[in-house]
Amino acid sequence: MAQNISKVTMSALCAAVVSLCLVSCNNTAGDSALHTVMLEEVKPVSTQDLGEYDGVIMPHRTVSVSSRAEGVLQKMFFVEGAEVKRGQPLFQIDPTVYQALVNKAAASLSKAKANQRKAERDLARIRPLFEANAASQLDLDNAENLYENATAEVQAAQAELELARLNLSNTIVRAPISGFIARSNVDVGSYVSPGSGELSSIINVDTVNVEFSLSAKEYQRSRMTGVCFDAHCTNPEHETDYFVTVTNTDGCVHPQHGCVDFAAHRADAENGTICIRAIVPNMPHVLMPGTHTDVEVTCGHTHSRLAVPNAALVEDAAKTYVYVSDSDGKLSRREVKIGTAIGDSVLVTSGLQAGDYIAVSSVDAVEKGSKYKTLKH
C-alpha cells in the first residue's frame, strides 16, 4: 500500500514538473514575441544647414566671338586659352576693300562740301538782287533749293563716311568681354563673314554659376521649412538670409559664399527635378567650369526647429506618420509634415510638439500590429 502511495506521489511530482516546464516555455515564447520599442523625446535642435546637393560648376558668362566684316583672315593676335581683356584685338581681316570704301566716301564728302559752298555763295548773291528787284522770286527759290539740297548731300556723305569707317574698324575683331578665350575655330587665310559662324568664344569665370537639382518633394519640403529658393522671394515668412558654399576639386571648401539667383518654376519632364542656380564669386579662378562639386545651402543664422530621426517615419499614401506614445506607453499613429533633411534626421513643420515621445525603433513591427513594450531612452 505504501509503495502504491509512493508511486502516486512520484507521478504527481513528475506531472507538476512537466507543467512548470510548459509554463516556463510558454512564458519564454511570449517574451520573444514582445518587441521592445525605444522612445525618444522630440526636442528643438539648432541648425544652420538646409541641405546638401550634387552640383555642376558652369561659367557665369560665355560670349561668342564673331565677325561683322567679311574677307580673308590675315592675323590672329592671341594665344588660345589665354586671358584676354575687353576691347583687345583678336583677329585681323583684310582691310583693303574697306579702306578703299573709306577713301571713296571721304572724296564724296569733299565734293558734297564743295557743292554746298558754291550753293551758299549763289544764294548770298541772289538775295540782295531780289531785294533790289533785280532778281525774280523764282531765282531766289531756285538758289535756296540748291543750297538745301547741297546741305543734305553733305549730311548724307558724312553718314556714308562714318559707316565706311565703322566697317573698316570691324576688320579688327575685338574681345567683347574680359575672360579666357577658347580655341580658334578658323585659321589664318580662311574667308570669314558675319554669317560664317563663331570664330571663338570667351568665358568669364570671375563669377561662376553652380547648378544643382532638387526633387519636387525636396523643393516643397524646403518651402515648408521656410526656405525660399526664389531669387526675388517677398514672403516675409520665408528665409532670405541663406547662402551657398561649394567644395573645390582638392576637397577644400571654397572661401567665398554664393547666393541663389534662379529657381525653375516647373519640374523637368524627364527626371522630375527642379533646377536651382547659384552665383559664386571665383577669385582667383580656383573653381573650374565643368567640374562637379558638393553644394551646401546654409542659413546665415541659427534657428531652433523640431527634428525627428528618419527611422521614426512611416510613409503611407503620400503622407508621413510617426508613432507617438501617451503617458501609459501606448502608441498611436499621427500625421506629420516634414521639411528639409538634416543628416539622419528631418525637420518637422507640423504635427508634433517639443516633449512628445515618439517610437524610433521597431516601427515596422508596431505598424504590423505586433505586441510591444516601450522603453524611453
Alpha helices in 43-95 (DSSP H): none
Of the listed ranges 21-30, 35-44, 110-119, 354-363, the least confidently predicted one is 21-30
Highest averaged pLDDT of the listed ranges 49-58, 148-157, 236-245: 148-157
pLDDT above 90 for 162 = yes
| Grid cell locating 350 | 507640423
Q: According to the CATH classification, is domain 68-94+172-197 in 3.40.50.2300? A: no
pLDDT above 70 for 267 = yes
Closest CA to 221 of 280, 271, 274, 258: 274
Closest CA to 256 of 269, 247, 268: 247
Domain ranges of the chain: 36-47+305-376, 50-60+205-302, 68-94+172-197, 96-169
pLDDT above 80 for 50 = no
The architecture CATH gives domain 36-47+305-376? Beta Barrel (2.40)
Q: How far apart are CA 267 and CA 209, in angstroms?
A: 20
Domains 68-94+172-197 and 96-169 belong to one CATH topology: no
Q: What is the DSSP string of 260-301?
A: EEEE-SS--TTT-EEEEEEEEE-TTS-SPTT-EEEEEEEEEE
Closest CA to 143 of 155, 127, 129: 127
Backbone angles phi, psi at 165, to 5 degrees: -65, -40
Q: What is the pLDDT of residue 86?
A: 97
Q: According to the CATH classification, is domain 96-169 in 3.10.590? A: no
| Grid cell locating 222 | 524646403
Q: What is the pLDDT of residue 15?
A: 45
Class for the domain spanning 50-60+205-302? mainly beta
| Grid cell locating 239 | 528665409
Q: What is the pLDDT of residue 26?
A: 41
Of 165 and 195, the structure prediction assigns the larger pLDDT to 165
Q: What is the pLDDT of residue 222?
A: 67
| Mean pLDDT in residue range 212-224 | 75
- The string of pLDDT tens digits covering residues 319-347 is 899 999 998 899 999 999 887 777 788 88
pTM assigned to the model? 0.63
